[in-house]
Amino acid sequence: MNHVDTDEIRAEAERQLPGLVAIRRAIHRNPELGFGCARTVETVLNALRPLPLEILWASGSDGIAAVLRGAGDGTSVLLRADMDALPIQEPAGLDFASELPGRMHACGHDIHTSMLVGAAQLLAARSDQLAGDVVFMFQPAEEVLQGSARMIKKGILNAAGQQVDAAYALHVLPSGLPSGSFTTRPGTCMSGSASLRVTLHGRGTHASTPYLGNDPIVAACHLVVAYQTAITRSFSLFDPALLTVGSIHAGTASNIIPATATLDLTVRAPSEESFTQVRALVDEVSRNIAAAMGVTADIEVMAEVCPLVNDHAEAALVEKVVTNLFGAERMIVMPTPRLSAEDFALVLREIPGVFVFLGAHTGSGDYRSAPGNHSPEARYAENVIADGAAFLTTVALQRLASPPTGG
C-alpha cells in the first residue's frame, strides 16, 4: 500500500471526537423518519459549511451530495452515511434521548452520519494528498429501502462529474461483534429484501351468518401457516429464504365479518436466485390459498432491494486498510452473509465497493447477547465514531492513491 500516515489520522480523529459526539447527540435528540430529514440535514450542513466542499444539493427528502476535489486524472470514490431513524419509542435513561415521541435512532444512523462528517473534515485537511475526488452521500430513507434509489436517480454516482470508481459504507453493530472490530466479506454480504402487502378481499357479513359471506380473516390465518410451510419445503438450508408476517389488520368489531384483511410481510434471501424464487412463492401461495378459501388476493410491493454484493478486490483493500490502521486483530472476516438488508446494495450493483460493519458494543454485559439494532434498548459506544471516521478517511485516500487489482 502507498504511504498514508495512519498514526496521524487516528490521532486527529480522536481529537475530533468530542465535536463529532456533539453532532451525534444533536441528531439523536431529533430523530427523523424516511424522507423527512430536514433538521438532520441542517445539522450536517452546519458542520460541512466551513469545509472546501461543493454542495450539489441538500434537502431532507433528497439528502446531501457534496464533493471534495483533489488532484489526479478524474478518479473518484463515494462515501455514504444514512441519516433516518425508526418509529420506535425510546425508553428513558440517556440525557440526550429522543425528544420526539415514537421516534428513535435505534440503528446507529446518527453515528454513521457523525462518522462521515468526521471523514469529510479529515479529508478536507488533506485535500492536497487526494489523488482524485471524494463524493459524500448523506442519505435519507434507508430504513424504508428507498433513499439510495432516489439519490442514484438524482445523480449521486456521477456527482464528481463522472461515475465514481468505488463506493464504501459503514454500519455499527451494538451486539454480536466486539467493540472496535470491523467485519465484512467478499461477495454476497447481505440479503435481498422486499416489503409486501397482501390484501385479501372477501365479503362482509354478520358474525351470526358466516355462510352469507367470505371470511378474509380465516383466509389470512391459513395464509400465514401456508407461507411458513412453503418456505421450509422450497429452499435449501445452504441457500435460505425467510418470510416474516409482521402485521395483520382486519375488522372493526367482534360481531362483524369484514370484507378485507391485510397482511404486511417481508421476504429475504441472500442470493438473486432465491430472492426471485421467494418473491414468486408469495404470489403463488397467496393467490392459491385465497382461491381455496373463496376470497381473492392482491399483492403490492411496498419496497424492494437486491442482495448486497461486495467486490472482491475492494474487500481485500478494506482488510488491508483496517489492518494497517488498527491491527490485524481488529479485522474479522464474516463467515456467512447476514439476512438483514441494505439499500446501499443498489449503489454496489452499479459501482464496485464494500459495506463494512463496526462493533459498537458499550462494554456493559456480553456483546454477544446485548440488544441489537432496531431494539429500543440498543446502546452504542460513541468512541467508535473516531474509528469510523479514520477508516473512511484512510480507505478513500488509499483507494485514490492505489486502486486494487484483481476481483
* Torsion (CA) 265, 269, 272, 274 in degrees, nearest 10: -90
Is the separation of the CB atoms in 115 and 24 below 8 Å? no
405 has a pLDDT exceeding 90: no
Is the separation of the CB atoms in 72 and 400 below 8 Å? yes
* Torsion (CA) 135, 137, 138, 142 in degrees, nearest 10: -170
Q: What is the pLDDT of residue 402?
A: 87
Per-residue CA distances from 41 to 4, 26, 113, 190 (Å): 31, 12, 10, 27
392 has a pLDDT exceeding 80: yes
Q: What is the pLDDT of residue 72?
A: 77
Sequence spans of domains, the chain: 6-188+307-401, 192-305
Q: How far apart are CA 309 and CA 267, in angstroms?
A: 18
Q: What is the pLDDT of residue 2?
A: 57
Place of cell 460493519: 357
Going by their DSSP bridges, the two strands 187-190 and 205-206 should be labelled as: unpaired
407 has a pLDDT exceeding 60: no
CA atoms within 13 A on the CB side of 347: 35
Q: What is the pLDDT of residue 49?
A: 97
Q: What is the pLDDT of residue 404?
A: 83
Q: What is the pLDDT of residue 406?
A: 60
Three cell numbers written together for 406: 484483481
pLDDT in tens, 328-387: 999 999 999 999 999 999 999 999 999 999 999 998 889 999 999 999 999 999 999 999
User: How would residue 73 be classed by pLDDT, with cut points 50, 70 and 90?
Assistant: confident
Per-residue CA distances from 201 to 49, 220, 256, 299 (Å): 54, 10, 15, 11
pTM: 0.92
pLDDT in tens, 3-40: 789 999 999 999 999 999 999 999 999 999 999 999 99
Three cell numbers written together for 57: 444539493
User: How would residue 1 be classed by pLDDT, with cut points 50, 70 and 90?
Assistant: very low
Superfamily name and number for 6-188+307-401: Zn peptidases (3.40.630.10)
pLDDT in tens, 222-255: 999 999 999 999 999 888 999 999 999 999 999 9
In this structure, which amino acid lies at residue 349? Answer: R
Over residues 148-164, the mean pLDDT reads: 97
Over residues 189-196, the mean pLDDT reads: 96
Domain 192-305: which topology?
Answer: Alpha-Beta Plaits (3.30.70)
